Structure 1
Amino acid sequence: MELSLHRLRMLRELERRGTVTAAAAALHYTASAVSQQLAQLERDVGAKLFERLGRRVQLTELGVLLTEHAELILGSVERATLALEEAQDTVAVRLTAGVWASVASGLLPTALTSLQQSHPGIVVRTKELAPEDTADAVRDGALDFSFVIDYSDAPMPWDAGLERAVIAVERLHAAVPTGSVPGESVALLDLADHPWILASPKSHFGRAIRNACRRHGFEPKIDHEVGEQPTAMAMVGAGLGITLVSDLGLLHRPPGVDIVALSTPVMRTVSIAYRTTALRRASLQLVIEAVRTAAAELGLGTEQTLP
């Protein structure tokens, strides 16, 4: 019998999530692909590993037994990878990172170019995910590390099995149509009567900005719901409303947009999340240092305290 690590990881995720659809979403595959791989795992083992109960899935006794061993096997693979890296004189490894738009465009080009020049053996591949999904993908082993965000008005719940290294602390700024808001700074409450362009409340960003507005005494009137900061700013430039944008997001500022500081800052912390077992990985620490350096070159520090 030959067991595939790939299929064992899918079985472990199925046990955690309870449905093929949820397991597939966590692993970033289609549900049909996961179903096919799990069916092949059953053929490899020669036994039934799970049963369908309506929309949910329940593991058989053999499925539970194999999942328990899968945890041990996958943990051993990670520890073996770490041991090999530590034993090598040179760092040579491939890492997969979870990213989202502003770090992918604002930090990674500089950081990965520098890393390639100083440590060509480290290859970083990226997968773009919603910021609120990246930490789960690291915990579940689908990613080696990911970028995560904490907002001053919406801290992210944290998993005890993960560590994080702060990369940068950003301010959020008001992005408004040119000439629509006089002065160099503005109170958030003074923006209450403007039409807003904002991400969905299901997103971390959209939820954080709504919380900040409520903390200042108003509910934003949202005319346009869009997910990405560059898209929102393009709509601001067309005079369709206002939004908030981060320091990294300012790199995509189009014509027709004024950037106005908030008199009471709204902040967010950008960090890299990784599993506690990866703490000693030299390759990971080199990546973290390269990204921190790229952030510092943009004037973003790591010591600023959130209000």
Structure 2
Amino acid sequence: MVRELDINRLRVLVEVAHAKSIAEAARNLAFTPSALSQQISKLETELGARLLERRPSGVTLTQVGTVLAEHGERVLGELREARAAVDAAMGVQPQRLSLGSFATAAQVLVPAALAALQRRHPRAELSLVDMEPPEGYGLVTSGDLDMLITHRYPGVGPTPHPGLVRQPLLDDPLRLVLPADHRLAGGAGRRSISLSRLGKETWISGAPGIPNRTCLDTLARKTGIAPHVAYESADYHVTLALVGAGMGIALVPASMLTTADRSRISVHSLRGPAPAREISIVHRRRPTALVQELTAFLHTAADAISHDSPPEQL
């Protein structure tokens, strides 16, 4: 029985788990793919168990590999946190921060917050990684990311995040977006539309399994309709362009509509309790000073978006 695991080999396994590819993990660690594979093989020999399933499309973790990688993330995160705590005790201020964020937040929340942080710490090395939910939690656990901006749509289950703090940032209401010449777009003072009136419409949404599609399907089941999704896109800019061209209707977060061209679309709320995606910040239990400052700036940016909502969206 192995009494002690090699931390470097554990780091290799965690990197492979995150990259889902031997070749990409090797590039990230400045190894050759063969050298990295040898490290995994040695770890498997020491444990007496297979850790990876190699497939043409990449690698997946076995059950044993998943368990070890999850523990490895926590171990690496604790080591990085220990170093940060020692630096803080010595009066050394953190000079690096890596943020993961999904596309919408990276567009409407992150720029102002990162710019404010950079002004306060001009020598700090700040970085941003595109990270679509539910990805990113393991990277925060291992310390590869200092913090994560993520979301959760109605109907989507929570992502377990042991050892991490999830802090609400913004409730982003979902709005019904119609072509400007749609039969339901007119009407003086009409601000809300019942989903039950949209059963025969053509919809634009993400593919099955994408959070916004799961949300649409969940709301539709509650209403008793079966939406016909003819156009699938996870990109809201594409969705809005298709709606503006008259190709269908969509549910779009209000934050994506703050800069949208209103000349070709009509924006409405859904009748009844307003569905919203929850936008949150995720970080470790003992955040660095930079993480705490960026969190404050992100809350300021989120408040600005909430206050800038046009009256017709309320």
- State the TM-score, normalizing by the size of structure 2: 0.76
Deviation, 1:210, is 1.5
1:217 has 2:208 as partner: no
User: Distance between the aligned counterparts of 2:8 and 2:159, measured in 1?
Assistant: 28
Deviation, 1:243, is 0.5
Residues 239-274 of structure 1, C-alpha deviation per residue, up to 9 Å, x if partnerless?
000111112111352341111111221112111111
Please provide the CA RMSD for this pair.
3.5
Residues 41-100 of structure 1, C-alpha deviation per residue, up to 9 Å, x if partnerless?
57789x83336686477899xxx99x98996465223221233135437x4421111111
Q: Give the counterpart of 1:275 among 270, 281, 284.
A: 284
Instruction: Determine the structure 2 residue equivalent to 1:83.
Output: 86
Deviation, 1:178, is 0.3
Instruction: Determine the structure 1 residue equivalent to 2:3.
Output: none
Q: Give the counterpart of 1:266 among 262, 275, 279.
A: 275
**SS of the residue 2:42 aligns to:** coil
Deviation, 1:217, is 1.5
CA contact (8 A) 1:230 1:252 kept: no
**SS of the residue 2:196 aligns to:** helix
Q: Give the counterpart of 1:48 among 20, 26, 42.
A: 42
Q: Which runs of structure 2 are paired with 1:1-307 in the superposition (5 Å)? A: 8-12=10-14, 23=17, 26-27=18-19, 30-34=21-25, 39-40=34-35, 48-50=42-44, 55=54, 72=75, 75-85=78-88, 87-88=90-91, 91-180=93-182, 181=184, 182=186, 183-254=190-261, 255-264=263-272, 265-276=274-285, 279-299=286-306
CA contact (8 A) 1:196 1:223 kept: yes
| C-alpha spacing 1:32/1:287, structure 2 compared with 1 (3 Å) | same
**SS of the residue 2:203 aligns to:** strand
User: Distance between the aligned counterparts of 1:289 and 1:214, measured in 2?
Assistant: 38
| C-alpha spacing 1:159/1:40, structure 2 compared with 1 (3 Å) | same
| C-alpha spacing 1:240/1:117, structure 2 compared with 1 (3 Å) | same
- State the TM-score, normalizing by the size of structure 1: 0.78
CA contact (8 A) 2:84 2:94 kept: no
Aligned length: 281
**SS of the residue 1:40 aligns to:** helix
**SS of the residue 2:135 aligns to:** helix
Partner AA of 1:167 in structure 2: L
Unaligned runs of at least 5 residues, structure 1: 15-22, 302-307
User: Distance between the aligned counterparts of 1:295 and 1:217, measured in 2?
Assistant: 34
User: Distance between the aligned counterparts of 2:8 and 2:250, measured in 1?
Assistant: 42
CA contact (8 A) 1:186 1:262 kept: yes
User: Distance between the aligned counterparts of 1:121 and 1:44, measured in 2?
Assistant: 36
Partner AA of 1:114 in structure 2: A
Q: Percent identity?
A: 25
Deviation, 1:116, is 1.7
| C-alpha spacing 1:269/1:76, structure 2 compared with 1 (3 Å) | same
Unaligned runs of at least 5 residues, structure 2: 1-5, 55-59, 309-314
Residues 162-183 of structure 1, C-alpha deviation per residue, up to 9 Å, x if partnerless?
2111111111000110031232
Deviation, 1:13, is 5.2
| C-alpha spacing 1:288/1:128, structure 2 compared with 1 (3 Å) | same
**SS of the residue 2:224 aligns to:** coil
Instruction: Determine the structure 2 residue equivalent to 1:20.
Output: none
| C-alpha spacing 1:161/1:73, structure 2 compared with 1 (3 Å) | closer
| C-alpha spacing 1:125/1:300, structure 2 compared with 1 (3 Å) | farther
